Amino acid sequence: MTILEQNIQAVNRLVNFDRTVLDYAIQTLKELRGKLKEHHKIDNPHLTAESALSQLRTIRENDSLRPQYGQIFNQCIVLLVSYFGSAISDHFSTAVTRSMETNPTDGLLQEDFRVSGRDLYLAASGDAGSVGDLVIKKKDISFQDMQSIRRSFKKYLGVVTDRDTSVHDIILGQAARHIIVHDASRMGPQFMRQIQGAVPRRIMEDLQETEEIVFEPDEIRQLGNSMLEFESAILCGLEKKGLV
């Protein structure tokens, strides 16, 4: 299991936090009701928490708390995009370092990175991270932008990925992360331009510029799955080149 998969599972648990709390409360009240009836012979529903238990079950069955979780769901998108960028950056950095140590690609050998002697010294000593980290820094590679990610893996490592529905889902997620953090979740012209070419996709297929973006649990899970699909494609490509 990769670090990204572990982090996505953690986000999925956060999405269901209300259900987890309610399930715990319901189970606790069920046990209390049983003890009161069995050990204390109390059958009055007003004294056995029967009413509270019934109300909690109704809330749980109808997901009545879900509408109040919009902000939490949106923050899950912010977390997913952050986890994804970090994981893909680590894969890229590790692969570049291994490539430079064994069989550098033409893309790496022909690129002018404009590094100083100090940069090389720090990279060689490990004080500034790996050679891969140095490449990321010098070429200003963004791992919160799918175009930058796919271009960098192709150019420097020879790993080509398809622009498929998974990529389109992630583009939507990355664009959404920006407006959630910087624009209070409001969609504007720039956001609409960013996602214009991200079709077909499996999340939020029909968006209107005037709306405020709010993610649903199923969309969060789908975005996480799309990120894992892309990571798998990257790792498969790196494995074929002996860089994993």
pLDDT digits (tens, 9 = 90+) for 154-182: 999 999 999 999 999 999 999 999 999 99
- What was the pLDDT predicted at 28? 82
Using one digit for the tens of pLDDT, what is the confidence trace for 2-48?
A: 999 999 999 999 888 777 777 777 788 788 777 877 777 777 666 66
Domain coordinates in residue numbering, the chain: 3-64, 70-240
Per-residue burial over 112-127, b = 16 or more CB atoms within 10 Å of its CB, e = otherwise: eeeeeeebeebbeeee
Contact 201, 129 (CB under 8 A): no
pLDDT per residue over 127-150, tens digit each?
556 788 889 988 999 999 999 999
What is the C-alpha to C-alpha distance for residues 165 and 202, in angstroms, rounded to an integer?
Answer: 7
Span 107-112, average pLDDT: 89
φ, ψ for residue 6, nearest 5 deg: -60, -45
Report pTM: 0.84
Q: 183, 156 in Cβ contact below 8 A?
A: no
Q: Is the pLDDT of residue 221 over 90?
A: yes
